[in-house]
Structure formats: structure tokens, C-alpha cells
């Protein structure tokens, strides 16, 4: 039996292409692992009405970790229209499998390193090395949403909230409510994860990203809990920044930042900003990490127009595999993989289209394997 069981979830679109590339490097590293394949993505929604079938959830329960490619998703009405005819009109609602995995397995940390590998022609500036920890289960992604707004909710809000007054005369279909729910436990543990990560990786500063001056209740709580945690880490500097300001400052001077921690939505937004500074979608990778399971993935989607063409850049997925190796404690293999990837980027002989070259997905994987 292998040491690790890694659920292999390519999904659809270019998810298949980039995962094939990632597998080439893991095989070349001779990781002692088996890779049972799991069904996930658009074809399973169309055929079964579930993009994350129960058998895949069961598979995940039996695995050490998972590698996930990408999946196509579509708005509710368009999704319903592509269901097998027998399944239509049964009230099936498309839900994002990745959001479901995060919630089902309490993968509360979304870890997103954004590092400018030297010589990458897509770097905004050389030397950027930021790490984002995004809260992954609560906040505006908690799924507590209303449209139309039920009368009971409107009447409760009328009696409890003065700022609700301008909305109280509206009929329920004229507005929508999405709840931003942040808990003490959720805020505490993600900020702690950020400080722990900083300490372990010899980082100097953690910036808590928020908008507590306006979103007083939920962001106020996040910031308060964060400050309490920070007191336990006197060796690491605490910094606090409003989410809007930090977007500007990150662009102006990325070197003033080190580790950033944020509630779910702000974390999502600053992740894309930071990913673009180090090469964009072909380089952005992330780990969804819980206490028992972690799922690693490129940040990009299924890019349907390139599906099956083996044209896109697999580096994001290969760096996600590197993150998985770190998480497994396979540090030597993780470092070898990162060094090989860095060497190929620096050399510049093999570049995919996004980097201005004409190399194909598996050419990039082969070049990295050759440098291992």
C-alpha cells in the first residue's frame, strides 16, 4: 500500500490538461502515493444533477489530500437547461463543488502564495513574495441569502435595525439580502493560521485586511479576534489595512507586505490582484486546508475555449502540487519541484503562450521533469 492516497479530481475543460502535467512531475518525483480518480464537474451535473456526487465525497473521506483541476460552472437558469431532460424541473440547483468541498470538510484556510519567480516575463516587479491566507468557509460565502426577501425577515429587520428603514417599504422581489456571517471561532483560527504560517516560514509581518470602519459588526469582530491572536506572537509585527486601501498600496509598494490574512470575500479579491502581479492565472495556486484534509488547485477556471488543446500553462497546477508536498511534510521533494520550476522559468527556453512562447502544456511539464 502507498504511503499517501491522493484523490485525483481533474474536473473538466483545461482541468484535464493541467492535471496530466502535474501528474508527470509527481510521478517523476516518485512520491509514494496512489491517485484514485474522483468524478467531479460539469458532465456529472448534466448527467446526474450533482457536480460533486456522493461517491466523490466518500472518496475524499478516505484520502490524505486531493489535487483538483478546474470545473465549469454556469448560472442557475443556464445550468438547469443543460440537465438531462428527466432531471429538469425537479428543483435541482447547481452549487459550486469547490465551495461545497470547503464547507463539507471545513477547509477553513485558503493559502495562496504569490511569488515572482525570477525571470518570469509576466512579473509586475521582480522580488514580490506575498502570501495570502483567506478565510474559506464563512463571511459573504456562508450561503445565507434571500431573493425575494421573505416578509418575516423584512418585518424582523424593520423592528431590529434602524438602517433598514429605507428598504422596509419595498416588496420582497425588489431587493436581495446576502448575509456576511463571521464567527469568533472562524476569525480566530484563520488569523492564528496566518501567524503560525508566518512563524514557521520566518516571515516578519502579518497584515489583517478588513473594512471595520464601515462593516462594523462582522469585520469589527474579525479584527478584534485577530488582534487578540496577534498578542500571542510578539515576534511578528501586526499590521492592519482597509481592503480598498491595501489594493492601492499593494500595487504601489508590494514590498511593504509579507503575509496577508482576510475574511473570505476580501481574500478572494486581493488574491486575484496579487496573482496578477506574479504572472496571472498560469501561476496562481491555492491550498484549501483543514485539520484532516487539504485540497490543492490552480486558481484558474476551466477555460473552455482551450479545453483539450494542451496549450495552457500548467505551472499553477504544478505549484499547487508543490504546496501539497509541503503540506504532506515532503519538504525535500517540494523544494526540488520548486527549484526545477524556478529554473525553467528563469531559463526562458520553454514558455507557454501566456508567457509569450509557443511551448505546450506537456512540454512545460517535461522541461520541469528534466530539471528535477
Smallest Cα–Cα separation from 207: which of 160, 166, 241? 241
From the CB of 305, what's the least distance to ligand NAI, in Å?
A: 6
Query: 302 is in the binding site of which of Mg ion, ligand NAI, none (Cβ under 5 to 8 A by kind)?
Result: ligand NAI
Smallest Cα–Cα separation from 96: which of 145, 52, 140, 61? 52
Site for ligand NAI in 119-148 (CB under 6 A): none
Is it true that the peptide bond before 244 is cis, omega within 30 degrees of 0? no
207 belongs to the binding site for ligand NAI (CB under 6 A): no
Q: Smaller CB distance to Mg ion: residue 111 or 230?
A: 111
Q: How far apart are CA 211 and CA 219, in angstroms?
A: 6
From the CB of 89, what's the least distance to Mg ion, in Å?
A: 31
Helix (H, G, I), strand (E, B) or coil at 242: strand
x-or-dash string of contact with ligand NAI, 15-54, rule CB under 6 A: ---x------------------------------------
From the candidates 141, 257, 266, 310, give the one annotated as an active-site residue: 141
The answer to whether residue 211 is catalytic is yes
Residue in the structure block whose three cell numbers are 511578528 = 236
Q: Smaller CB distance to ligand NAI: residue 336 or 351?
A: 351
- Residue 177 backbone dihedrals phi, psi, to 5 degrees: -130, 125
Q: How far apart are CA 286 and CA 320, in angstroms?
A: 6
301 belongs to the binding site for ligand NAI (CB under 6 A): yes
For 347-354, the CB contacts below 8 A with 24+ separation are 347/119, 348/119, 348/121, 351/121, 352/282, 352/311, 352/312, 352/313, 352/314, 352/315, 353/311, 353/312, 353/313, 354/122, 354/279, 354/280, 354/281, 354/282, 354/312, 354/313
303 belongs to the binding site for ligand NAI (CB under 6 A): yes
From the CB of 206, what's the least distance to ligand NAI, in Å?
A: 26
273 belongs to the binding site for ligand NAI (CB under 6 A): no
Site for ligand NAI in 339-358 (CB under 6 A): 354
98 belongs to the binding site for ligand NAI (CB under 6 A): yes
Site for Mg ion in 264-323 (CB under 5 A): 268
From the CB of 234, what's the least distance to ligand NAI, in Å?
A: 38
Choices 65-73, 125-133, 145-153, 263-271; region in contact with ligand NAI by CB under 6 A: 65-73
Give the containing element (helix H, strand E) for 239.
strand 237-242
The answer to whether residue 244 is catalytic is yes
- Whether the CA torsion 104, 81, 145, 261 is positive or negative: it is positive
Please give the residue ranges that form the binding site for Mg ion (CB under 5 A).
Answer: 268
Please give the residue ranges that form the binding site for ligand NAI (CB under 6 A).
Answer: 18, 70-73, 98, 281-282, 300-303, 305, 312-313, 316, 354
Residues assigned a catalytic role: 141, 211, 244, 268
Amino acid at each position: 500500500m502507498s504511503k499517501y492516497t491522493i484523490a485525483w479530481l481533474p474536473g473538466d475543460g483545461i482541468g484535464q490538461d493541467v492535471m496530466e502535467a502535474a501528474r508527470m512531475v509527481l510521478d517523476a518525483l516518485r512520491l509514494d502515493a496512489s491517485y484514485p480518480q474522483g468524478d467531479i464537474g460539469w458532465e456529472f451535473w448534466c448527467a446526474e444533477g450533482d457536480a460533486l456526487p456522493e461517491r466523490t465525497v466518500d472518496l475524499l473521506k478516505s484520502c490524505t489530500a486531493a489535487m483538483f483541476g478546474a470545473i465549469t460552472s454556469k448560472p442557475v437558469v443556464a445550468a438547469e437547461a443543460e440537465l438531462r431532460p428527466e432531471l429538469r424541473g425537479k428543483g435541482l440547483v447547481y452549487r459550486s463543488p469547490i465551495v461545497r468541498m470547503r464547507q463539507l470538510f471545513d477547509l477553513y484556510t485558503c493559502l495562496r502564495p504569490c511569488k515572482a519567480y525570477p525571470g518570469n516575463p509576466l512579473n509586475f516587479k521582480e522580488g514580490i513574495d506575498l502570501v495570502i491566507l483567506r478565510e474559506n468557509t464563512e463571511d459573504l460565502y456562508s450561503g445565507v441569502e434571500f431573493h425575494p426577501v421573505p416578509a418575516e425577515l423584512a418585518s424582523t429587520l424593520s423592528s431590529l435595525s434602524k438602517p433598514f428603514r429605507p428598504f422596509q417599504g419595498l416588496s420582497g422581489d425588489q431587493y436581495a439580502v446576502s448575509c456576511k456571517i463571521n464567527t469568533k471561532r472562524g476569525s480566530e483560527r484563520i488569523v492564528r493560521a496566518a501567524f503560525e504560517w508566518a512563524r514557521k516560514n520566518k516571515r516578519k509581518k502579518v497584515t489583517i485586511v478588513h473594512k471595520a470602519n464601515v462593516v462594523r459588526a462582522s469585520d469589527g469582530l474579525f479584527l478584534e479576534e485577530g488582534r487578540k491572536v496577534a498578542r500571542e506572537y510578539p515576534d511578528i509585527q501586526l499590521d492592519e489595512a482597509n481592503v480598498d486601501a491595501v489594493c492601492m498600496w499593494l500595487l504601489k509598494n508590494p514590498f511593504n507586505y509579507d503575509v496577508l490574512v482576510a475574511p473570505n470575500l476580501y481574500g478572494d479579491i486581493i488574491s486575484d490582484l496579487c496573482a496578477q502581479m506574479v504572472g496571472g492565472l498560469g501561476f496562481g495556486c491555492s491550498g484549501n486546508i483543514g485539520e484532516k484534509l487539504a485540497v490543492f488547485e490552480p486558481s484558474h477556471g476551466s477555460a473552455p475555449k482551450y479545453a483539450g488543446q494542451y496549450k495552457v500553462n500548467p505551472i499553477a497546477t504544478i505549484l499547487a502540487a508543490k504546496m501539497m508536498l509541503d503540506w504532506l511534510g515532503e519538504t525535500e521533494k517540494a523544494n526540488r519541484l520548486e527549484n526545477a520550476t524556478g529554473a525553467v522559468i528563469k531559463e526562458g527556453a520553454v514558455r507557454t503562450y501566456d508567457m509569450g512562447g509557443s511551448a505546450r502544456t506537456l512540454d512545460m511539464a517535461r522541461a520541469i521533469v528534466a530539471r528535477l
